[in-house]
């Protein structure tokens, strides 16, 4: 009897040891895909308790970034992209949402930039100093992917306290206002 129990013990040890070596060699040679090994499912009771715990934690801690809508996220990100950290001396680009909804203390003015002759005008009145009003460097953004509409840009001038909506007209000033 003792001989049989020793033989069974020896066989069991050989099987366990052989299997261990086999798994070790496959793991070492990266032949086992560990992502295919499934984790055992937890009982439903524990999952419900975890959900209740999470809900309690959410009630205690409110994170406004997680609750924001896509529009709020766009607004927050676009403001961080378009708005400088300090108030600049030069005019700078803003987006359409900032033009209509932020800085209500700023005046709003619509200007036309006549591309063919480089004239900036407010209806039939020519603006003399383009650089001081909207910044000459901002004119280079017309027709680029930086702007939401390639023919309209929004510029904030902190010195004037004015936000400008500038439309690009693909003509000369004299063609639109011949008598001026």
pLDDT in tens, 68-89: 666 666 566 555 555 555 566 7
Q: Examine the domain organization and report whether 164 and 92 are in the same domain.
A: yes
Lowest-confidence pick of 61-70, 81-90, 151-160? 61-70
Residue 167 lies in a domain: yes
Is residue 166's pLDDT more than 60? Answer: yes
Alpha carbons within 13 angstroms on the beta-carbon side of residue 112 total 17
Q: Is the pLDDT of residue 36 over 60?
A: no
- Do 9 and 85 fall within a single domain? no
Place of tokens 């390639």: 150
Same domain, 83 and 143: yes
Is 172 within a domain? yes
Same-domain pairing of 6 and 75: no
> Are 167 and 88 part of one and the same domain?
yes
- Which H or E element spans position 120? strand 119-122
Q: Containing H/E element for 156?
A: strand 152-157
Tens digit of pLDDT for each residue in 88-100? 678 888 888 888 8
Considering the domain architecture, whether residues 22 and 77 belong to the same structural domain is answered as no
For residues 11 and 130, the model is more confident at 130
Q: Residues 26, 79: one domain? A: no
Residue 130 or residue 77, greater confidence: 130
Residue 86 lies in a domain: yes
pTM of the full structure: 0.50
Region 146-155: mean pLDDT is 83
Q: Are 26 and 86 in a shared domain?
A: no
**Residue 96 domain flag:** yes
Residue 155 and residue 107: Cα distance in Å, rounded? 12
The domain containing residue 87 runs over which residues? 70-176
165 and 116 fall within a common domain:
yes
User: For the chain, what is the domain count?
Assistant: 2
Percentage of the chain beyond pLDDT 70 is: 62
Are 89 and 160 within one domain? yes
Assess whether pLDDT exceeds 80 at residue 113: yes
Segment 171-179 mean pLDDT: 86
Average pLDDT over residues 91-118: 88
Q: What is the pLDDT of residue 73?
A: 61
Residues 23 and 82 in one domain: no
**Given a cut of 60, is residue 47 above it in pLDDT?**
no
Taking alpha carbons only, the member of 84, 101, 102 closest to residue 92 is: 84
């Amino acid at each position: 009897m003792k001989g049989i129990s020793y033989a069974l013990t020896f066989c069991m040890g050989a099987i366990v040891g052989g299997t261990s070596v086999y798994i070790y060699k496959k793991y070492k040679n990266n032949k086992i895909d560990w992502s295919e090994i499934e984790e055992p499912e937890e009982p439903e009771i524990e999952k419900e308790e975890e959900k209740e715990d999470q809900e309690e934690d959410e009630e205690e801690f409110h994170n406004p970034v997680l609750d924001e809508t896509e529009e709020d996220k766009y607004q927050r990100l676009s403001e961080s992209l378009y708005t400088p950290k300090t108030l600049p001396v030069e005019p700078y680009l803003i987006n359409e949402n900032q033009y209509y909804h932020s800085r209500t203390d700023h005046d709003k003015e619509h200007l036309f930039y006549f591309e063919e002759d480089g004239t900036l005008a407010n209806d039939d009145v020519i603006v003399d100093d383009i650089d001081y009003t909207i910044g000459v460097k901002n004119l280079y953004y017309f027709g680029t992917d930086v702007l939401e509409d390639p023919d309209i840009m929004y510029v904030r001038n902190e010195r004037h306290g004015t936000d400008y909506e500038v439309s690009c007209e693909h003509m000369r000033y004299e063609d639109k206002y011949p008598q001026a």
